[in-house]
Structure 1
Amino acid sequence: MSDKRSAGLLLYRRTPDGGTEVLIGHMGGPFWAGRSTGAWSIPKGEYGPEEPPLDAAHREFEEELGFPAPDGERVALGESRQANGKTVVVWAVEADLDPARVVPGTFTMEWPRGSGTLREFPEIDRVGWFAPEAAAPLLVAGQQTFLERLAEHLGGPGA
């Protein structure tokens, strides 16, 4: 099992019809390019023992989306262990954001594998607002629980 930890922010907004939408991002790079189900994530990233998790969540939000985390109350949604063993901790923040303004951070990896060629890819190649029931199958399985916890906080499923 991994002892890696990630922290992130789950933005949510109220819709005119009284519903809720959450902001999630499609993971960038060649492994995720042709996938949708289970290929989206809450903006998050790894942190070490010297960095407070909420500070890491703010830093990673800015690194992945290209601008500072929005103001607003941080609602702790707790932790979840993903299939890869990584523990993820998430806070919800009520805020609006235009996905067209996102300027994703990048990472470098050898691609194709074994080629010796290093290529740069966006950490998140697109973001979007989704109703929680539409977001759930898109998210990696270990993060779906945060949608349930957000609904509980807001007063019930689909709140």
Structure 2
Amino acid sequence: MTVRATKRSAGLLLFRHTDEGLQVLLGHMGGPLWAKKDAGAWTVPKGEYEGDEPAWEAARREFREELGIAPPDGEALALGEVVQRNGKIVTAWAVAADPDLSGFSPGSFALEWPPRSGRVQEFPELDRVEWVGVDRAREVLVTAQAAFLDRLAEHTG
């Protein structure tokens, strides 16, 4: 019998206060499966890590890999964990920051596309990042990650 390890991801949810209210920085998942989707196709910038790497360090590393820019310094608010529909456990921290996104240069992944074609293509991990209000974030985030918005609201009032 094979025991499959639970996949774990860690990420940073950046937030800022504007005249329009609280905004969070989300990434739209890249690749052909997400290209024409909006609802459920946005995520906290995050990525997988192995059990021996501290989750906080993984979150900062993955932020750099996913966006191509340095993770911001500042007080990190622990947002805890959520379990996504696929069973992946996601841990996140919120950091108040408004980084320059002009250097956005996402990492990539390889995927056989079209399926069973034998042709492997490279796609961006995130095809774009955007600041969005919390209400819009609830509409487009991966469902389980919406809990991070509630936890952020508890911290920021």
TM bracket (short chain): over 0.9
Unpaired segments ≥5 residues, structure 2? none
Instruction: Indicate whether 1:107 and 2:113 are aligned.
Output: no
CA distance, structure 1, for counterparts of residue 135 and residue 36 of structure 2: 22
Instruction: Indicate whether 1:122 and 2:124 are aligned.
Output: yes
* 1:137, distance to aligned residue in structure 2 (A): 1.0
What's the C-alpha RMSD, in Å, of the aligned pairs?
1.2
Task: Give the structure 2 partner of residue 3 of structure 1.
Answer: 6
Cα 1:132–1:14 change in 2 (3 A) is same
Select the residue among 12, 19, 35 that pairs with 1:16: 19
CA distance, structure 1, for counterparts of residue 37 and residue 102 of structure 2: 21
Q: How many residues align?
A: 154
Identity of aligned residues (%): 56
* 1:101, distance to aligned residue in structure 2 (A): 2.6
* 1:2, distance to aligned residue in structure 2 (A): 6.1
* 1:97, distance to aligned residue in structure 2 (A): 2.3
TM-score w.r.t. the length of structure 2 is 0.94
CA distance, structure 2, for counterparts of residue 115 and residue 105 of structure 1: 24
Task: Give the structure 2 partner of residue 94 of structure 1.
Answer: 96
TM-score w.r.t. the length of structure 1 is 0.93
* 1:50, distance to aligned residue in structure 2 (A): 1.1
Aligned amino acid, residue 17 of structure 2: R
Give a deviation string over 1:86-105, Cα, whole Å, max 9, x none: 00000000000244431111
Aligned to 2:73, what secondary structure does the other structure show? coil
Aligned amino acid, residue 94 of structure 1: A
4+ residue segments displaced more than 4 Å:
none
Task: Give the structure 2 partner of residue 149 of structure 1.
Answer: 151
Give the conservation status (yes or no) of the 8 Å contact 1:8–1:58: yes
Task: Give the structure 2 partner of residue 33 of structure 1.
Answer: 35
Aligned to 1:83, what secondary structure does the other structure show? coil
